[in-house]
């Protein structure tokens, strides 16, 4: 499909389900690249290192993840700036 984003993904799936042959990347392969869990499984299977990912729902969880991630990469300045922004927004 010569579109980008979700439009192409949804249209490709619908056309494939109707039996329309689409040239290029298979719809399932596109889905595997877009689906975080499936993509992570592919990286794991291929022994490709990647940063630890996390899903957060609160500002406090975001602070904990950011602190862990940035502290591992020497990003203390970024941590302080992030905390400043969170405080300014009254999130912590």
The residues near 30 (Cβ < 8 Å, ≥ 6 apart) are 8, 9, 12
Cβ burial, residue 26 (10 Å; 0-12/13-18/19+): exposed
In tens, the pLDDT along 30-85 reads 888 888 889 889 988 988 877 666 778 888 888 777 765 555 555 566 667 677 77
pTM (2 decimals)? 0.48
């Amino acid at each position: 499909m010569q579109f980008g984003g979700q439009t192409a993904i949804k249209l490709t799936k619908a056309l494939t389900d109707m039996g329309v042959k689409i040239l290029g990347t298979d719809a399932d392969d596109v889905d595997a690249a877009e689906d975080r869990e499936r993509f992570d499984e592919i990286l794991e299977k291929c022994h490709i290192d990647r940063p630890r990912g996390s899903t957060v729902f609160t500002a406090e969880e975001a602070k904990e993840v950011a602190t862990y991630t940035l502290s591992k990469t020497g990003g203390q300045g970024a941590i302080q700036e992030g905390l400043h922004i969170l405080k300014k927004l009254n999130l912590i």
